[in-house]
Structure 1
């Protein structure tokens, strides 16, 4: 009987370990998908190519905006590379803003200096 209980406990623990990473992923609800903000000529401050999401920090006027993107593998599928952006690059962006008004959002598209448009989702 103890052996059966131990086996059930091990299986339950294994299932819980597999479920946890999925539950750690946040929803898209923090972004206002009914609104799009666009900036022309924003300056790239930082381009962070990392899991689980890529981030672009831009400066528009005197304010820095942190823009969340897809995963590195998702970004690769739409033409991005780890070195697509560099600090100081001037880009045009369109993004879903944060619902709470903080300066940031979910990047929709970025237009690079040469005119190439890349999607972030």
Structure 2
């Protein structure tokens, strides 16, 4: 009986360890991926290159909001670098808006000043 309990405990601990990364990663259900919003000439306020997701904070008119991107490794594969954007850069963006209607969303594509388009999703 003790051996069975020990085996069950080890199995449970192993399953918990394996499932932790999945639990830490949130759902993208908060973004409406059936719609895109486009804004031209937004100003980059901050570009945060960090795990688990890259973020871009932009200002459009008087509104400042954050856009979530993919992971740094996926962004790198799409042509992004940690210094692709700098505060003050003007870019055009296309993003999936938040379902709750608040400002922000998930960045889909950024068009840089020179016309270069980079996928972020």
TMscore range, shorter length: over 0.9
Q: Which runs of 5+ in 2 are unaligned?
A: none
TM-align CA RMSD: 1.0
For the residue of structure 2 that corresponds to 1:8, the secondary structure is helix
Q: Which runs of 5+ in 1 are unaligned?
A: none
Q: How far did residue 34 of structure 1 move?
A: 1.9
Partner of 2:68: 68
Q: How far did residue 110 of structure 1 move?
A: 0.2
User: May I ask how many residue pairs the two structures share in their alignment?
Assistant: 121
Are 2:110 and 1:107 equivalent residues in the alignment? no
CA distance in 1, matches of 2:105, 2:112: 19
Q: After TM superposition, which residue ranges in structure 1, 4 or more long, deviate above 2 angstroms?
A: none
* Cα-to-partner distance string for 1:101-120 (whole Å, 9 max, x where unaligned): 11100100000111100000
Partner of 1:5: 5
Partner of 1:28: 28
Q: How far did residue 81 of structure 1 move?
A: 0.4
Q: How far did residue 33 of structure 1 move?
A: 1.5
Partner of 2:42: 42
CA distance in 2, matches of 1:26, 1:19: 13
